[in-house]
Every structure is written in structure tokens, then in C-alpha cells.
């Protein structure tokens, strides 16, 4: 009897100690899994004798309640020539336009962005929420954070097909998909993330001793426009103007840099790099040259096959007036060494969407409150 009296209080104490954890588990939002596949298989073709196909597809994960994305994953069917993919969240403002553009599942050409809602749609009404490149798996939000996704919203999946990488030149249809894990937004304490993009212009002259018609910058920009659309050439010029260079007479350099003065509060929790095949290094710096300077991201040996993002150990609080710098280094001689590029005509390389063009892009994930 005495033993029984001892057991009962002990069991009660154990139950009391577990109650907070049981309550927490009971109140934790249930993770729901969603899958969305391209409605129709796409056979990539490059326009105007180019080697790249950018195609946008409208995907419906059929989300029935306002949610917060905890993880998202792009599953390419053709891993050899899918160069990269970007997932955009399509809000009510652009859904009707997206449905019309998608033409019952065949998608639409989209060099430079989705083309929905005007040029600012990538940042406002149909924002970029995730990206994939070789070596990157599931895009998992940092603990305690997630991306909002409202009932009835859809994805635009932009896929960049690099036809230079097709095995033995054989092009087959692709029908890739997106997997998503989300929790209901109602009652959730998860902080909602957004992405900020930081780009720098690219101006890579042909290496010493390398010559050809496209080594002339003007001719190269005309070729860029013919392969990927006039908007791409305008974007290359605009980046120079935004970053303080003469867009018509920039100084060629293997180093690309741009400082952006922030106009809003932003709490950085993760950062990732994006360049193409000539990229060597990428660094992002908070308030360079000031007393409170901090390195946000430092990738000294950039690897195109590993563009995974990095969660910051300690979030960085950004205030209006603070500066964020993105800086990249390139090696244009790699065009004569990389099998995918060495058979191409020498060129002056600028910012552009194609695999034979370049980018200097830092991607930050964070919150605005």
C-alpha cells in the first residue's frame, strides 16, 4: 500500500512535467503537403539560334486555406539541361493574366521574369519565393520562419533550359514539378519571410588575344537582344545606371559591385548566391566601410553546382539608410576552357539570362518587422 502511495505522486509529477510539451504538440499547426506538376510536357527550343529556353508555367497546388510555406522543392525531370528554376507566388492581382498567358498548360516564353503585372511583378504582385540550381535540394525556411501563401494563389514556375548541356545534343520533353509543405496561417506564430534581390552589372571584355565580332560590346548587346529579347539588353544597361556607371560606356572589369541603400527595415535571416559559369566568388556586405560593417555572405570559391543558401547564425537588422553591397569576381578565360562554352563564338559578356551570359546576384531572405 505504501509503495502504491509513492507511485501515484510520482506518476502525477511526471504527467505534470509533460503537460506543457503535450499542449505544445497538440497546438502545433499540422504540416500539410502539396504537389503541383506542369500540366503538359514541354519540349525546349531556343529562339533565334540561341542555346537557352526560358519558359514559364502556371501551377496550381490547390491550397484551400491561407498558409505559410515551411519548405518548397523543385523536382526537375531533365536534370542534365535544366540550368535553374525560379518559383514565383502569383497573387490575385495577376492570376487572370497568368491563366491567359499559360494557354491551358503550354506556358509562355519569359526571359527576364514572369512578364506578369509589369516589370515590378517580380517584387510586388507576383514575388520570387524560391529558386533551384544544381546541387540544391529542398528549400527549407529557417526555424520559426516561413513564406505566406494565400488560399487560391498559384505558382509560376520559370525554368531555364540550357540546351548546351543536353546529352549528345538530344532534347526530350520535360514535365517537372514542385513539392511544398505548409501550415495554416491562422493561429500560427511563424514569422513571414520575403526575398530581396541585390544585383550588380557584369562587364567582361574578351581576354587578351581573343578576338571576334561579338567582342565588341555593342554587337554583343545586339546579339543578347536577339537571343533573349530586347528587355534583357535594357536590363543590362539599366543595372549600370542604377549602380553608378555610365550605361553606354562602362569600364570593363572582372569585378562587379553594386551598393544599395535600403529604404525600409529588413531583418536578414538567410542569404544565397547566383552567378553562371564564369563566376569565381561572391560576397555580400552590410554597411561596408562603416564601424558596424558585417559580412552577410562570403563564397570565396563559387560552385555553380552548389548554390544553396546559408542561414545566418545571428539575424542582421537593417534600417533605412543602411547599405548592402554585392560583389562578384569572374574569370572570362573560362569560356575557352569549359566544354559547354568553348565551342561558342568569343564575346564581350554582360548581364543576361542565357547560360553563356552572366549574373552577379545576391538573394536575401528576411522579415520586414
Q: Which fold has domain 32-191?
A: Jelly Rolls (2.60.120)
Burial bucket for residue 344 (CB in 10 Å: 0-12, 13-18, 19+) = middle
Q: What is the bridge-based pairing of β-strands 255-261 and 294-299?
A: unpaired
Residue 359 CA to residue 330 CA, distance in Å, equals: 10
Does 32-191 match 194-367 in CATH topology? Answer: yes
φ, ψ of residue 237 in degrees (nearest 5): -70, -40
Residue 247 CA to residue 144 CA, distance in Å, equals: 42
Q: Is the pLDDT assigned to residue 7 strictly greater than 60?
A: no
Segment 275-302, tens digit of pLDDT: 998 999 999 999 999 999 999 999 999 9
Residue 99 CA to residue 34 CA, distance in Å, equals: 20
Quote the pLDDT of residue 18.
46
Residue 110 CA to residue 253 CA, distance in Å, equals: 29
Q: Is the pLDDT assigned to residue 26 strictly greater than 70?
A: no
Specify the CATH number of the domain 194-367: 2.60.120
Residue 110 CA to residue 158 CA, distance in Å, equals: 7
Q: Which residues, in sequence order, are CB contacts of 314 under 8 Å at separation 6+?
A: none
Q: Is the pLDDT assigned to residue 361 strictly greater than 50?
A: yes
Q: What is the bridge-based pairing of β-strands 139-140 and 154-162?
A: unpaired
Segment 41-79, tens digit of pLDDT: 999 998 777 888 989 999 999 999 999 999 999 999 998
Q: What are the grid coordinates assigned to 14, written together? A: 511526471
Each residue of 270-299: b (16+ CB within 10 Å) or e?
Answer: bbbbbbbbbbbbbbbbbbbeeeeeeebbeb
Based on its alpha-carbon atoms, the radius of gyration of the chain, rounded to whole angstroms, reads 24
Burial bucket for residue 333 (CB in 10 Å: 0-12, 13-18, 19+) = middle
Which letter does DSSP use for residue 216 in this model?
Answer: S
Name the pTM for this structure: 0.76
Inter-helix orientation angle 217-228/230-242, to 10°: 130
Segment 114-173, tens digit of pLDDT: 888 764 455 567 888 888 988 788 999 999 999 999 999 999 999 999 888 887 778 999
Q: Can you list the alpha helix ranges (DSSP code H) found in the chain?
A: 2-27, 92-102, 217-228, 230-242, 339-342
- Residue-range domain boundaries for the chain: 32-191, 194-367
Amino acid at each position: 500500500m505504501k509503495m502504491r502511495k509513492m507511485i501515484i505522486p510520482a506518476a502525477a509529477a511526471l504527467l505534470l512535467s509533460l503537460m506543457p510539451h503535450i499542449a505544445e504538440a497538440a497546438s502545433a499547426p499540422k504540416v500539410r503537403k502539396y504537389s503541383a506538376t506542369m500540366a503538359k510536357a514541354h519540349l525546349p527550343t531556343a529562339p533565334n539560334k540561341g542555346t537557352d529556353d526560358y519558359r514559364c508555367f502556371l501551377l496550381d497546388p490547390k491550397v484551400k486555406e491561407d498558409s505559410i510555406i515551411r519548405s518548397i522543392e523543385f523536382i526537375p525531370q531533365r536534370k542534365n539541361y535544366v540550368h535553374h528554376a525560379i518559383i514565383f507566388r502569383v497573387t490575385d492581382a495577376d492570376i487572370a493574366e497568368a491563366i491567359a498567358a499559360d494557354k491551358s498548360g503550354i506556358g509562355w516564353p519569359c526571359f527576364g521574369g514572369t512578364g506578369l503585372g509589369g516589370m515590378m511583378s517580380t517584387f510586388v504582385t507576383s514575388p520570387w519565393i524560391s529558386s533551384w540550381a544544381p546541387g540544391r535540394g529542398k528549400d527549407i525556411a529557417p526555424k520559426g520562419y516561413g513564406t505566406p501563401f494565400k488560399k487560391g494563389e498559384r505558382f509560376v514556375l520559370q525554368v531555364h533550359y540550357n540546351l548546351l548541356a543536353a546529352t549528345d545534343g538530344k532534347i526530350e520533353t520535360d514535365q517537372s514539378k514542385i513539392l511544398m509543405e505548409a501550415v495554416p496561417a491562422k493561429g500560427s506564430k511563424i514569422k513571414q519571410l520575403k526575398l530581396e534581390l541585390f544585383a550588380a552589372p557584369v562587364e567582361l571584355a574578351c581576354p587578351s588575344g581573343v578576338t571576334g565580332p561579338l567582342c565588341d560590346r555593342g554587337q554583343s548587346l545586339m546579339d543578347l537582344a536577339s537571343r533573349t529579347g530586347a528587355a534583357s539588353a535594357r536590363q543590362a544597361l539599366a543595372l549600370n545606371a542604377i549602380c553608378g556607371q555610365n550605361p553606354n560606356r562602362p569600364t570593363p572589369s572582372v569585378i562587379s559591385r553594386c551598393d544599395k541603400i535600403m529604404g525600409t527595415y529588413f531583418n536578414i535571416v538567410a542569404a544565397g548566391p547566383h552567378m553562371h559559369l564564369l563566376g569565381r566568388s561572391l560576397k555580400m556586405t552590410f554597411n561596408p566601410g562603416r564601424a558596424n560593417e558585417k559580412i552577410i555572405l562570403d563564397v570565396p570559391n563559387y560552385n555553380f553546382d552548389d548554390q544553396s543558401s546559408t542561414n545566418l547564425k545571428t539575424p542582421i537588422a537593417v534600417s533605412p539608410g543602411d547599405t548592402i553591397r554585392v560583389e562578384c569576381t569572374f574569370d572570362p578565360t573560362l569560356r575557352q576552357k569549359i566544354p559547354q562554352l568553348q565551342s561558342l563564338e568569343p564575346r564581350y559578356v554582360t548581364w543576361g539570362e542565357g547560360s553563356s551570359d552572366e549574373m552577379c546576384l545576391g538573394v536575401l531572405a528576411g522579415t520586414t518587422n
